[in-house]
Structure 1
Amino acid sequence: MKILIQYPFTPEQIDAFSALAEELGNHQVVHVESDEEAIAQAADAEVLLGWFKPAVCAAAPNLRWIQSFSTGMEKFLFPEIIERDEVKISNVAGLYASQGAEHAWALLLSLTRGIHTSWDNMKQKKWGGGSNIELAGMTLGLIGLGGFGLHMARRAQGYDMTILAIDPMRTAKPDYVAELKPFNRANLHDLLRRADVVMTACPLTEETYHLIGAEELARMKPTAYLINVTRGGIIDEPALINALQNGQIAGAGLDVVEKEPLSPDNPLWEAPNLLLTPHRAGASQHRPRLVFEYFLQNLERYLQGETPIAIVDKRKGY
């Protein structure tokens, strides 16, 4: 069996993959650094770890399993893969949840405590503050209670917030979550109406594309904050800009936008009470090690004839 790796692992990490493959069946590991190399090596590859594009998959008729480095799968579920029932895909669900939740809270706290305003004032040697909003006693509304959502909820518990959540799959409610309801439009609107802070913690799918639009923003409190660190397409950006300009909500923090990188002429740059970061929520000093360990563990499962963890429903998108 050939195992094709297209990801910037270190030589030592590639050696670890090779040692595992040899131990469990004398399999071949090939590490490539470009799409051209991947296509040239793909004909007899059964496993692909890391980055993959349609041309690589099309050149791999024997492909049976792909391990993606991403949690969100919207950029990887192209027809060449969806239509091949024999090809399974795993994502890294939950692997970036801790740092992603930390980033969501960094955005929220910057907005509610005026940290970004104080930073600007400091550069001007100006003694003055911004907002001073206390989170204790407020209500957090979570759209999704998977890996990201659970980590966000645990942090909200530490701030003495009431936690509401909606989720399409989870039915077991943690003790620190006050209310968990199924994901549907009526429950979403109810959550938006009641929450002081709304955080998205769901994947981008056909169902969640522009999930938060003008109608949803109009249902939020004028004192509420919206935080999105998952995927930009979940929020209708023109509707968000309009809501911020008209004071429909108090502010928003985004680590993701629909088209990245954000173009210089995008009106989001000028939107009031908006804090932007450049898609960094999933990054941390531990990420390279975490990805390596996750890939190695899942490859071991596959080579031993077990089902890899985090198999994606290709038609649902998660």
Structure 2
Amino acid sequence: MTIDPILQKLLASVPLLAARPAAEWSVRPLAGMTNQSWRVTAGDRDLVLRAPGASSQRYLSRAQEFHNAAIAAELGIAPALLYADAQTGVTLQPFLADARALAPEDFAAPEIAREIGARLGCLHRSGRAFQGVMQAFPIIDTYLGLAADARLRRLRDRAELIRVALEAHPAALVPSHIDPNPANFLLRADGTLLLIDWEYSAMCDPAWDIAAIVMGGRIDQAAFARGYGALPGESRLWLMRAALHLVAGSWTYAEIAGGNAAPGLDAMLERYLSDLERMLDHPALKRHLAVLG
């Protein structure tokens, strides 16, 4: 088989893969928004090889990612990494042939919503210490420092009241995934649910992961709460959800400006910013700010 030079170099750099001639590996690209991933198979080996995208290397710590992913694997909520290079960000892990990524509509299924809640509750209440701290407005300002336009700057200024409200009543930080979108959940044939892609993981306000779940799909909130346990207050979750629209919008713009040509980014950016504008214009904003004021 013919292998492009970049992939050839990757196959030679990972000891488990380099133990075989590159031509013996069957390689199939996998979908991804920021990273390049391939399913690589040979004999009884069925693996996922990942190389990070150049744009994300500007603001991610791979050492932090791998430390946190290892803890998540110990907790039984993430697959174990077989290889991880903190310098390059290259990883290797088993390909779970019996698993499928969730779609947004899966969040509406009560049994899946309950299990999502249970997985996040297990992580948040584990008492384990992740490396790194994630806060909404500092990371927004990081992304805006990489790339911003006038509309993003205006929205950041309008959202300042949300920053003040959230930071006036800080929550105890817990180990958090940070990006629990449907595609990062793998449902196995036996019903086990795993979380993958721990790139952004850090200690964080638990409201972040929960608000992100609400953004990611039409979650059955009653079933989710049964699995998770006691949730943060309604106003904290509403304001965090507004902040996460700005996080996602500023991240998307920074990725576009950084050369990420993945299809759909422009539409994603417009969706996040339009939704944020609606939330900033919504009468409920004043009420939720008052609750935390």
Looking at CA atoms only, which structure, 1 or 2, has the larger radius of gyration?
Answer: 1
Answer whether TM exceeds 0.5 for this pair: no
TM-score (norm 1): 0.29
TM-score between both structures, scaled by the size of structure 2: 0.30
If each structure's helix is expressed as a fraction of its own residues, which one has the higher value? 2
